[in-house]
Amino acid sequence: MRSVSPDLGSRDDERTRWEAVLDQLERDAEPTAGPATGSGWSEPTGLGPIPRELVGRASRLLAAQRDRITALEVGRRSAGEHLGALRAVDATREPRGSVYLDASA
């Protein structure tokens, strides 16, 4: 008689693959991770649905990613404001004369 229950080995393999993906995403989401290197992220294939016991971990990761996005957007806006202030200061300066001398003439 054939068993109709899911193969426990394949469930363990699926969980292991999901844990590896979550591990990598958590490392990438750390504030100390710095800028991304390489060719960027691509969606993993063949994972299947996330195991129920990993849903909480994935939800916390999603919240951490959203927090990081918010922090990056705040930093980007701040840098833009600073750049605008620097450009405004440069616009008030008198143009200077030439600083190069053509010695070949």
Q: Average pLDDT, stretch 69-90?
A: 91
Burial 79-103 (b: 16+ CB within 10 A, else e): eeeeeeeeeeeeeeeeeeeeeeeee
Strands of 11-51 (E only): list them.
none
Nearest CA among 19, 93, 5 for reference residue 61: 19
pLDDT at residue 92 is higher than 50? yes
Cα gap 45→61, rounded to integer Å: 19
* Tens of pLDDT, residues 4-51: 445 556 888 899 999 999 999 998 887 776 666 656 778 888 888 999
Flag whether pLDDT at 3 surpasses 50: no
